[in-house]
Amino acid sequence: MRAGSLDRLIIIEAATEAANALGEPVKTWATFATVWANLRQPSRGREYISAQAVNVEIDQVFRVRWFDGVTEKMRVNDGGKYYDILHLAELGRRQGLDIAARLRRG
């Protein structure tokens, strides 16, 4: 994998629980890894109507160098845009990782 193609710094975040001021558990996100990535394909999306509202789904694939521990329960932070991880695909013999993700709304 050529380093020059990894031109986008992304943050992989993992869900954690913290206590709020009242001691109640609250879901928060903590940095798991900060890695350089390549956006493999332009935004692909679809628009549909559900419950009398227009919804939009935007999919991306981020290619990164291989690292252990990332799961589909994590998310990608790309410059303040948050993507839910849908699928992980190993490239070669742990040479790289394709992270298929969907833009999170709300």
Output the domain CATH number for residue 52. Answer: 2.40.10.270
Six-digit token pair at 97? 């990782």
Rounded average pLDDT per 10-residue block, the chain, 106 residues: 80 94 93 94 56 65 94 96 94 92 83
Print the domain residue range for 81. 3-103
Cα separation, 64 vs 95, in Å, equals 9
Cα separation, 5 vs 104, in Å, equals 25
Coil/strand/helix, residue 5 = helix
pLDDT of residue 5: 82
pLDDT of residue 3: 62
Tokens 């252990």 belong to 68
Query: Structurally, how many domains does the chain consist of?
Result: 1
pTM for this prediction: 0.78
CA distances 35 to 24, 62, 99, Å, are 32, 10, 12
Cα separation, 77 vs 9, in Å, equals 9
